[in-house]
Amino acid sequence: MISDVANLVRYENDTSLFELRPKLAVKPKNAVDIIKLVSFVSHEKDADPSLSITARAAGTGMAGGALNDSIIVDVGNMNHIKSVTAARVVAEPGVLYRDMDAETQKLGVIMPSFPASRQLCAVGGMTGTNASGEMTLTYGSTERWVKRLKAVLSDGNEYEFGPLSLAELEEKKKLATFEGEVYRRMYELLENNYDLIKTARPKVAKNSTGYALWNVWDRQTFDLTKLFVGSEGTLGIFTEIEFALIKPKRHRKLLVLFLRDLDKLPMVVEKVLAHKPETFESYDDHTFQFAIRFFPDIVKSLKTGIIKLGLSFIPEALMVIRGGFPKLVLLAEFTGDSEDEATQKANLAFEDLKEFHVPIETMRTQKDAEKFWTIRHESFNLLRNHGGENKTAPFIDDIIVAPEKLPEFLPKLADVMSEYKLTYTIAGHIGDGNLHIIPLMNLHNARDRDIVMELSQKVFNLVFQFGGSMSAEHNDGLIRTAYLRQMYGDEVYRLFEETKRIFDPKNIFNPGKKVFGHDLAYIKDHIDKVY
């Protein structure tokens, strides 16, 4: 148990904009400890309405989802991998993804929905946010890979959740317990609003906003794991998660495309996707310029000689001299079980793309490809390390629209951004239209804090206008919860509220996230001014 200010400081922040100091932090060793804590808080909640619990794994979230002013449950000591086979791995929520990956790789398999923070994040947070990353284009988000999980609910008991047949669902509904009540009420909510829920699903490739009610019930299978994934710890606290695994392709070949004309983007994206790349990423001209400007950082990341790396960039330098920086750099990676298979896929795509008359390079080796991947992966760090008084400000960091809408969307986005004269980069997963926009800001400055609120609303309005989602990967947290009603409408938002009441009638789990959120004044007031 941690209650002194000196040690609570580490729980004031995650990797979001926000600062919120808890009164207490606890580090449970196992599910029994969590059961005791939840039972205590539930029992004492009426006497002290300020009591609540927020689970925290590695603290790498970018939305403020792991922050709370009451009790933080640090699951870092629940870091055991229970079992591993070539098909499944069972892990506690505090297991770091890198440690789980090291174990599964021994069997030649992986859990492929890892985010960019794969070396730092934990599987509990990945599950709570419905994390995804560069392999998601082919393999889907975390929701696709969680097969079963255990969680402590608000009654202080641990339950196991997984897919149920119709007969199994009926047995659950007969239980005269809190679990039975949850199944009865959730079935009624989902069945009575079936058509509304199915149409409410955002029309994008991936989404981490709201509660994924549309994934739970298809009138054949009832699976509450689909609801827990992406719920941000607002419905219960995970104690164990079972992931499915796949054998990855071992050989890869990268095509790099340089687009100066965004009008060609939808045709290029469509053509590339027709050849089924495993990964299809992008970064913008601002990112490219930052990489050139702070070239030594790229050298350091690659651990290679500056002269050798500089020579490798000569073709790109000549291209910039002749025609300026491209608006977008696209990275399409093709994979296969053999070198020949990966090369053949890349070559076929290369030939098909010639009709667009855009510069394309084929990376002969993984070492050649590494310089482009480093720019993509290091874009956030380049900004963070070279902003001076200005710091990276993730608040419009995870928007998604359908890829075919990007040529119309991106100029409108640029118009909105230009109103504020901010330095920013755009990188992301172009294959599914997911963009990470990171401005540099001085949040000690009151005007910059005002801009966070103004620009959030303007960008989200634009995203909604194009039928997109505020978050494809990072979830709602403090920064986006206030806009969920606008995104989904009153009817669906009321279903989110009812879902929360069914699981957590006293609102003890991670309050202020998903529903019953804080107002914009509260959000602005808790921006970390020395961030």
Mean pLDDT of the chain: 93
**What pLDDT is stored for residue 291 in this prediction?**
78
**What pLDDT is stored for residue 375 in this prediction?**
85
Which two tokens mark 58? 């590695």
364 pLDDT band, cuts 50/70/90, is confident
Kindly report, residue by residue over 454-496, the tens digit of the pLDDT.
Answer: 999 999 999 999 999 999 999 999 999 999 999 999 999 999 9
Nearest alpha-carbon partner for 187 in 223, 212, 147: 223
299 pLDDT band, cuts 50/70/90, is low
Measure the CA–CA gap between 131 and 423, rounded to whole angstroms.
27
**CATH class (in words) of the domain with range 251-465:** alpha beta
| Residue with more model confidence, 72 or 310 | 72
Measure the CA–CA gap between 225 and 150, rounded to whole angstroms.
9
Kindly report, residue by residue over 228-267, the tens digit of the pLDDT.
Answer: 999 999 999 999 999 999 999 999 999 999 999 888 999 9
Sign of CA dihedral 369, 372, 378, 382: positive
- Distance between terminal CA atoms of the chain? 27
Percentage of the chain surpassing pLDDT 90?
A: 84
Measure the CA–CA gap between 281 and 427, rounded to whole angstroms.
8
Q: Tell me the whole-structure pTM to 2 decimals.
A: 0.94
393: exposed, middle or buried (Cβ count in 10 Å: 0-12, 13-18, 19+): buried
Measure the CA–CA gap between 346 and 17, rounded to whole angstroms.
40
**Residue 362 phi, psi dihedral angles, 5° rounding:** -105, 125
Boundaries of every domain in the chain:
251-465
Task: Give the angle 144-191-204 at the CA atoms, nearest 5°.
Answer: 40
Nearest alpha-carbon partner for 125 in 60, 38, 30: 60
- 107, 254 in Cβ contact below 8 A? no
Going by their DSSP bridges, the two strands 88-91 and 81-84 should be labelled as: antiparallel
Kindly report, residue by residue over 341-357, the tens digit of the pLDDT.
Answer: 999 999 999 999 999 99
Q: Which amino acid is at 423?
A: T
pLDDT of 407 over the 70 cut: yes
- 68, 54 in Cβ contact below 8 A? yes
The radius of gyration of the chain from alpha carbons, rounded to an integer in Å, stands at 23
Measure the CA–CA gap between 448 and 456, rounded to whole angstroms.
12
Q: Tell me which range, 36-40, 314-318, 425-429, is most confidently predicted by mean pLDDT.
A: 36-40
